[in-house]
Structure 1
Amino acid sequence: MAIINGTDASEILSGTTDPDTITGGGGADTINGSGGNDVFYIGGNYFGYDTYDGGDGIDAVRLNANVAVAQFLLSSNAINTEILDFDAYQLGGTNGDDIFDISGISTVPVYRWILLNDGNDAFTGYQGADMVDAGAGNDTLTGGGGDDALVGGDGDDTLGGGAGDDSLTGAAGNDLFLLDGSEPGTDTYVGGTGNDIIRLSDDLAAAQLLLTSANLSDIEALDFGDYHLGGTEGDDIIDISGITLVQNARWFSMQGGNDSFTGHQGSDFADGGRGDDTLIGGAGDDSLFGSDGNDSLDGGEGADIFTLYGSLIGSDTFNGGVGIDIIRLTDNISTTLLQMAAANIVDVEALDLGSYSLSGTAANDVFDISGVQMIVNSRVVDLGAGADSYTGHIGQDLVDGGAGDDTLRGGDGADSLTGNSGNDRLDGGAGNDLFMIVSGDVGNDTCLGGGGTDTILLGADVIANQFMLTAHTVVSVEAMDFGGHALSGTASSDNFNLTGVQAIINGSRIELLAGDDRLVGHRGADNVDGGLGNDNLYGWLGNDTLLGGAGNDVLDAGEGHDEVDGGDGNDLLVGRHGDDTLSGGAGTDSLSYLHATGIVQVNLSLTTAQAIGGGEGMDMLASIENVIGSNYADRLIGSGLANDMNGGSGDDVLYGIAGNDRLFGSGGNDKLFGGTGNDFLAGHAGNDSLFGGAGADVFTFKADSGADRIIGWENGPDRILIQGEGVYDEFIDLTITSTRGGAHAVVKFGDCTITLVGVEAARLDASDFQFV
C-alpha cells in the first residue's frame, strides 16, 4: 500500500498493485492506480484537470475537503474509476460559468446537492440520481440515468432528466426541458415564470410519458422540433393533458400493444396502432387513428377526425363530443368486423370514405354502421364471399353482399342492396330502395321493401337457372325495373317465379332459351319466350304475352287480356279470364277452359273473337286442334280438322264436324256429334247420346259408363270398343237383347247399357265389337 502526494506540476503518479492513496495536487496529473482498491483524493478550489485510471479493483475519487471549482470532469478522463465519494464534504461551483461532468462515474454512495452557484453553468450527471442546483444564469443540466433533481434557477435554462423519475425545475426565465429519447419515467416539470417549453431532442419511443396537470407547473408548450414521439410494442401510456400548446406537431404513433393516449388542450394527432387502444383527444380539433383492435376513440371538444386503416378494425367505440366530428378512411379497408352501431358511436356526424374502398373478406363478415348519421363520398361496400351481415345507417347505403347467404339491412334512406349469389335477405327499411340483381345466381332471396317506393333493378344482363321472386319472399316492393337489361334462362331447365313483383317497368322479353323451363309471372304484364324445350309458363295477373317456342309447352295466361302463342310442338293453352288471343302454332295444340266459372261455348272453326262465357271473356282462337271444356254444360264445336274435345263435367254438347275427331263427354249426360270422318266417341259417366255420323266411327264404353245411346249406327264401318278391364273381354261376355218390339238393340255388360237406335239385335255379331 502506497501514499502518494503530487505537486503543483503536471505529473504522472502511479500506485502499486495494492490499495493506494493518491492526491494529485495542482496541475493536470495522470494518476494510475494500478491494482487494488485505490482512492484518489481531491479537495479545495484548485486542482487540475486530472486523468484517473484506477486499473483493477474498485476505485474511487473522494473529497477530502469542500470543493468549489469552475470545472469538474469525471467523464472520459475517469477510466476504470467507479465511485465518486463526497465523504463529509460539499461539491460545488463558482459564480462563473462552471462545467461539471460526472458521466464517467457509476456509483455515488451518498449524494449531496451540487451547488453550481451563479453563472451559465453546464452539468452532466452520472447513471444514478443526480441532485444539482445551478443557481442563477442560463444553465444546461443533463441528468442521465436515475431519478434526478435538477434546478436551473433564474435564467433561460435547459434541463434534461434522461431516464428515471426526474424532478426538473426551471424557476424564472424561458426554460427548455429536453426529452432526449431515453425512457422518461414519471417526471415532474416546474417552469416558473417565463415561457417554458418541453422539447424533443431526439426521436422518443416511450412506454410511459406523463405530462399531466399533476406533474406539470407553468409549462407553456410541448415542442416536437424535428423529431417524432410515440410508443413501443408494449402497453404504453402517454398523457399530455397538462400541455396547453404543441409546437411542430407530428403524429403520436403508439405502435403495438393496448395503449392509452390522452391529448392536450389543442389539436392532437394520435395513432393507436395495433391492439385495443384508448385514445382521448381532449379539447381541440383532434385526429385519432384506431387501426387494428377494439379501440376506444374520444375526440372531446372540437371538430375531430377518427381515422380508420388496416384490416382488423375490430369493435371500436367513437365519442365525438362537442363539434362536427367525422370518421374517415385513409386507406382501402378490408375487414371482417366493423361496428359503428348506436352503442359504439356518440356525437359523430359523418363517415367519410374519401377516395378509398370499404370491403369485407371471404369470411362471414359483420358490418353495422347504424350509428352513423351521414356517409360522405359514399361508395359500394363489397362484402365479398361468406355469409355476411350488414346493417346500414339513416342515409343511403350502397352494399354488395357478394357470394354467400347474406343479410343486408339498409335502414332509413334510399338504399341500394345487392345480394349477388346465395340465398340473401335484403331489408331496405324506410326510403325508396333498390334491390340490385347483377348476377344470374340470385338464389332464393328475400326482399323486404319497408316504407317508400322500392324497386328490384337489373343492374346487368342476367342469365339465371333459378329466379325466384315470390309473394313469400318479396314484400312491399312496388316494381321490378329491367333498366334496359335482359333477363334470360340457361340451356338447362330453368325455374322463374315473379309472383312477388307488382309491376315491371322498362321491361323487355324474358327469354328462357333451351330446357324444360317453368315460369310464373308477376302481377302485371309479362312478356315471356319459353324457347326450346317443354316449358310451363303461367302469366298470372296482367296482360301477358307468352310464347312457348319449340317443344310441348303448357301456357297458362292467367288473368288479363293475354296473347298466347304455343309455337312449334303439341301445346296446351289456358286463357282464363280476360279477352285473350290464343294461337297454338305448329303441332297439335289443345285449349283448356277447365277453370271457367260457368258454361263455355267454343267454336274452333271461328277466326274472329267469340264470347266464350264462364267468365272467360272474348277470345280469339287460331291453330287450335283440341279443346277441354269446363265443369258445366258446355257447347264445343270442332274446326273441320281432326279435333280432340273433352266436355268435362256437366251435360255437354260436342260437335266434331269434319275430320277424324275424338270426343269425350266425361261426366254428365252428354251429346257427342262426330260428323263426317272416322270419329272416336266416349261418353264416359252419365247417360250419353252418341251420334257417329258418316265415316267409320268407334264408340267406346266401360262397365260404369251408364245408359248410353248410339244414333246413326252404320253396320260394317262402325265399331263398339269395350274397355272390359279383364272382365268383359269377349263377345260372349255381352248380353244383347231388343226393345220396343225389336226396333232397338240393347247391349249390356256390368252397369253399362248401350241402346243402338234403329238397329235390330240380329244384325250385331262379334265383328262389330272390339275388346281391350
Structure 2
Amino acid sequence: MDAAGNIPELNSYWSQLTTKSYTSSSFSTPLIKGGSYGSTFSIQVGGALAFNKFKATLTGHVSSLVLLENGQTRLSVATNDPVYVQNVSRLPLSLFVQGNDVITGSSLDDTIFGVTGNDRLYGKGGADRLNGGSGNDGLDGGLGNDALFGGDGRDTLTGGAGADTISGGAGIDTISYVGSDARVSINLSTGTGSGGHATGDRLSDIERVVGSRYNDVIVGNGLSNTLQGGGGHDWLSGGSGTDVLEGGIGRDTLSGGSGADIFVLRNIADSGIGETRRDLITDFTPADVLDLRSISSRFALTGDFTGKGGPQLHYYHTTSSNGTRITVVEGDLNADRKADFQIALKGHIALSADNILGDLLVSPSGTPGGDPFTGGSRNDTLVGGYGADTLVGNGGDDHLFGGYGNDALFGDSSEPSSTRYHDWIGTPGHDALFGEWGNDTLYGGAWNDTLSGGYNDDVLYGESGDDVLQGDSGDDALVGGAGKDLQQGGLGDDTINVGAVSEMLGDTVDGGLGIDTLVADYSALGTGLTFTAADDLFTYFAPGGFLVTGIEIYQITGSKFGDSITGYALNDTLNGGGGADYLRGLGGDDSLVGGTGRDLLDGGNGEDHVFGGTDDDTLMGGLGRDTLYGEQGNDSLDGGDGHDTLYGGEGNDGLSGGAGNDTLYNDAGRDTLWGGDGNDTFKIGADEGAADEVHGGADGDEVEFIVSSPSSAYSAYIDLENQAANAGIAHNDRFSEIEKFIGTDWDDVFLGDGIANYFEGGDGGDILNGRGGNDTLDGGRGSDVLTGGAGADLFVLDLSLTNGKWPADIITDFNRAEGDKLVVQGGVPTLEQGLDSNASAAGPVFIFETDTRRLWYDADGSDPEGNPILVATLLNVTSLFTTDFVL
C-alpha cells in the first residue's frame, strides 16, 4: 500500500498480503493480476462507511472479484465510473452482504446477494441477478432482463423494464408494478405478465400483486392471493382460495372466485356514487366479506340516512341500466343523510352483519320506526330509531341502541363465550333489555326500564326512572340510579348499589341466592346515621327509605356527622366519613375506616383491617389475626386475641398486642407498646428521638431495630442496666421484659443486665456484652466483639456467614468452667489442635491454633486444594474440646 493509502497491485502469485485499516470513501488498486489458471480476489470492506467508488484494472486470468462487507458498510456503484471493474474486465461484480444493507449496482450485469438482514437491492442497468436471502427484502431490477429471487421472508419485488424472471421464494411475497409506464396484465395461474413493465415477465411463488395507475388486469391462482389494482379501472379475479381484492381508485370490477373472499374499501374515493363510478363485485356470496374498517376508523361517524342518532350503512336492491339485477351497498359518514360511497353487488343479495367488517351500523333500508333487526355473528352496532324496535345482537360483541320509543333489546341467542362483552343502551322510552348469554353491560337510560342480565356476569345500570334490574344467573353488578328501583340479584354472588341518599328512597333490594353485597352511600345525609345490618333472612327498611332482604355483605359509607354503623357476619366494609363514629364489624374479615373525627372502631371476630384516620381514635381488633393502623392523631390500639399487627402511625400512640404472637410498630411520636401474652415482636424505627416505652409482657419477646436510612447514625446503643444511656435509634427509649434484641446493619452496642439476654448484632462490627446471666450472643455478619460475662453463655458461630470477606469475631471471655459453649450452625464435630491451621484428616474439620487462639474451619480437611476459614479468636483460651461445641 502506498503513502496515499492505495494498493498499487494485487497479484495472485503473492503468498501473503499485508492488511491495513482504510477509512476513505473510495478504494483504488490500479492493477489486479491473475495467475495462469484464473484467480479469485476477495476484498473485505469494513467499518461504518459508504463506499461510492471502487477502481480496479484486471489483467491476466482473473475469473472473478468478490467484495465482502460487514453489515455496516454501504457500497454504491456509480453508472458512469470509467474504470469500474466490469468496464475493464467484463467480468461480473459479485457483492455478498450481511446486515440490513442498501446496495445499488451499476449499469452492467451485477450479481448482488443479500445473504441475511432486511436488504434493499437495486440492479439499475444490465441483466442483473438479485437474491434477497433471508429477511424481508426489497429487490428492484431496474432496466434490463433481470433475475430476482426473494428468498425467505416477506419480500417486495419490482422487475422494472425488461423481460424479468421473478421468484418470491418462501414467505408472503409481493410483485409491484406501481412504476409501470402502461397498463399491465398479470396471471399468477400461468406465471406470465404482459403490457408495460410486465412484458415478458415470468413469475413464481408470488402471493400479492400491486398494479399500476392504469387499467390493469390481474388474475390470481388456486392459492390465497392479495390483488390490489391501484389507480385506473381495473379488473381483478381472485380464482380459487380465500383472496383479498382491493380495487383502489377508479371504477373497478372484482371477482373473488370460489372460496370465502374479502373485498377491501380503504377510502371513500375508491368507490364513488352512481353506476359509472362505483365498484362492481360480480360474484358476492354469503361467505364473502366487505372490509370497511379503514373507513369506519378514519371518519367521525356522527350521522346517518334517517336521523336515528348513529352512523349507518345500508343496502337496497335495484336494476342497472343494462337490466342486470344488483344490490347497492351505501354509507353515510358525515351526517348529511346522503351516501358518501357505494358498492354494487351483482344479483339481489340479502346481507347481514356477518358480511361486514367495521364499526358501522348495518340495517336494511326502511322506515324510521318499529324496526325488527338481527345482527350477525360478528361485532355489530344496531340502532333502533323512533318506534318500538326489537333488536337482537345474535353472536359477537354488539352495541345495541334502542333509540326513542319502547324498545326490546336482546343480546345473544347463541351459546355463551368467555370473551364476549356487550354494551346495550336504551335511550328515552320504556325499554326492555335482555342480556342473554355473555358478560353484558346494560344501560336503561331515561324512563322506566326493565333490564335482565341473563347468563354469565353482567353489569346493569337503571339510570333515571323506576327501573327493574334482574341479574339472573352469574355474579352481577346492579346500579339502580335515580327513581324507585327494584333490584334483584338472582343467582350468584351479586353486588347491588342503591347509590346516594337522593337515589335510594323507595328502592327495593333482594339479593337472592348466593353471597350478595349491598352498597349504600350516606355521605350527603343531613344528620348522623344509625345503620345496623340484619340477617339475610329478614326483610327490613334501611335508613334512607329502602327495603332490604337477602343481603350478606355490607359496604356502607357514613355521613359527615357522628354515625353508628354495625355490620354482620361476613366481610363488611364500613366507612365512617366525617364526625365521631362508632363502627362495629362483628363477624367476618371486615375493613373499617374511621375517617375524620374521634372514632371508636371494633373489628369483632375475623381477620380485620382497621384504619383510624385523622384525630384521636380507638381501634380494637377483637378475635382473629387483625391489622390496625392508627394513622394521624394520638390513638389507642388493642389487637385483642390472635396474632395481630399494629401500626401506631403519627402521634403519641398506645399499642397493646393482647393475647397471641403480635407485631407492633412504633412509627412517629412518643409511643407506648405493650406486647401482652405471647411471643411478641417490636419493630422500632427512627422517630427523631421520641421517648418510646416498650414492655414485652409474658413469654419470649424481642425488639428488632429497623432502619431504612443508609446512615451509621441510626445504629443502636442499648444499656439495660443504665437505660438513660440508650442512644442512636434507641435514643430516649425504655425497654422492659424483653428477652431478645436484634441490631441494625450498622455497628451496634448491646449491654445486658443480670438476667438472660439474647443479643443478635446483625450486620456491622457489633459489641455484645451479656454481663450477668446465661446469655446468647450472635454477632451476625461483620467482625464482632462478644463478651458473655458471668453465667453459662452461648456464643453463636454461623459458618454460612464466615466466608473470609471480613475478620472473624473475637470472644473475650470464653469460660468452660462457667458452662460457656460455642454454638455452631452448619458445622461438624471433628476437632484438631496444633500450632497451624493445616488439617491432618480428610473431610470437614475445626482447627484450633493453640498459640494464636484462632479457631479455623476447613471444609476440605487435608485436601491441599482446600482453604481454611477463620471463624473466631478466643482470647485467654489454650485448648478446646468437642464438648465445648453445641451443634
TM-score in same-fold range (> 0.5)? no
So what's the TM-score if we normalise by structure 1?
A: 0.41
Question: Which of 1 and 2 has greater Rg?
Answer: 1
Q: Provide TM-score, normalisation by structure 2.
A: 0.36
